[in-house]
């Protein structure tokens, strides 16, 4: 938890309580359903929570916006972002029902009112509009854009134009080339200078 407060200091008492509960909740659920790497459980706040919040550092969301998390897995980046932005509506989508069971349980336990979960493949989501799609290490950029683009409203709702914001790592040159897109990249270790974030990036594609 300390690593979160190292970079952010404007949380309400409710937000502090919600972030503070995540370690115990994920540790407990991970014993039943493996939703994050077991070796990462002790480093939850750096490897998962702070990593998710690098999206907030790059692109602030405004109250009333709608965001959907493609392939949320155990709830990242969706759950930390939903705590960070209590007035933004989040839809967390995954095709694996048991993972969403954990996500829903965590959201209920900490009292998140701005999160809905949907058990579906992205291509089967009922048509609706969002300001942004977010994702973390789910699929190549080309596929993420194909999945997310039809749902994104074309306008500028905040500092960046509406679009896709995803978290990726490693050498992305080939993946970007194959996507045919021209994304913007921010090194996460420039945002949060922690060793874990070396060669990790926030990637944005505007609609």
Q: How much is the pLDDT for 137? A: 79
pLDDT on residue 155: 87
> What is the number of structural domains in the chain?
1
Nearest CA-CA partner of 54 in 199, 190, 149: 190
Mean pLDDT per 10-residue section of the chain, whose length is 207 residues: 93 97 93 79 92 97 97 96 98 94 96 96 90 93 95 90 96 95 97 96 96
Known binding-site residues equal 71, 76, 122-123, 136
pLDDT at position 146: 95
Question: What is the pTM (predicted TM-score) of this model?
Answer: 0.95
Residue length of the chain: 207
Residue 42 CB burial class (10 angstroms; 0-12, 13-18, ≥19):
exposed
Q: What is the pLDDT of residue 41?
A: 76
CATH code at 20? 3.40.50.150
Binding-site residue set for S-adenosyl-L-methionine: 71, 76, 122-123, 136
**What's the domain range around 61?**
2-206
């Amino acid at each position: 938890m300390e690593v979160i407060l190292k970079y952010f200091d404007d949380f309400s008492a409710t937000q502090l309580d919600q972030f503070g509960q995540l370690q115990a909740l994920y540790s407990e659920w991970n014993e039943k359903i493996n939703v994050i790497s077991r070796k990462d459980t002790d480093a939850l706040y750096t490897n998962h929570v702070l990593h998710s919040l690098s999206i907030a550092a790059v692109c602030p969301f405004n109250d009333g916006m709608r965001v959907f998390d493609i392939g949320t897995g155990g709830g990242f980046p969706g759950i930390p972002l939903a705590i960070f932005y209590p007035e933004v509506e989040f839809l967390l989508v995954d095709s694996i029902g048991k993972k969403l069971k954990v996500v829903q349980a965590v959201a209920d336990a900490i009292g998140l009112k701005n999160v809905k979960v949907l058990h579906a493949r992205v291509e089967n989501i009922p048509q609706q509009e969002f300001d942004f799609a977010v994702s973390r290490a789910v699929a190549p950029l080309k596929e993420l854009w194909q999945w997310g683009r039809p749902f994104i409203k074309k306008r500028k709702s905040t500092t960046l134009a509406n679009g896709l914001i995803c978290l990726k790592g490693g050498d992305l040159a080939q993946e970007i080339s194959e996507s045919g897109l021209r994304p913007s990249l921010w090194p996460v270790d420039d945002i949060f200078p922690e060793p874990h974030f070396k060669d990790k990036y926030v990637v944005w594609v505007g609609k």
